Amino acid sequence: MQTTTFTDARNNLNRLITSIDENNEPIVILGTKGRQDSVLISKENYDNLIENLYILSDSNWVKSIKKGVKEIESAKGVKMDLYTALGI
C-alpha cells in the first residue's frame, strides 16, 4: 500500500486520485501535528466496504451465505442467474 505525507497529498491530490483510479489501490496519508493517519480510497471501494459491513452485521444474512456456500461445495446447490432467482 502506497503512503504519502499530508503535505504531498495536499499538493498532489489530482495525481493521487488518478493513481487510485488506475491502480485500484488505497493510499495512506500519514498524519502530522497530532492528526491520525487517513486512507484515500475510491468511492466504489468505499461503497463496497460499507455494503460488506452491513451484510456481515446481519447474522441471518451471514448464516444464509454460509449455508449457500456449503450447498455449492457439496454439489447440492443450484446455480441461478439473477432473473431466475427473482422469478422474472
pLDDT tens-digit readout, 11-47: 999 999 999 999 999 999 999 888 899 999 999 999 9
Residue 87: the pLDDT is 76
Which residues pair with residue 28 across a beta bridge? 3, 39
What is the domain range of residue 82?
58-88
- DSSP letters spanning 21-71: HHH---EEEE--TTPPPEEE--HHHHHHHHHHHHHHT-HHHHHHHHHHHHH
User: Count of domains in the chain?
Assistant: 2
Residue 77 vs residue 55, higher pLDDT: 55
Position 82 in a domain? yes
d(CA 65, CA 72): 11
Does residue 84 have a pLDDT over 80?
no
Position 50 in a domain? no
% pLDDT > 70, the chain = 99
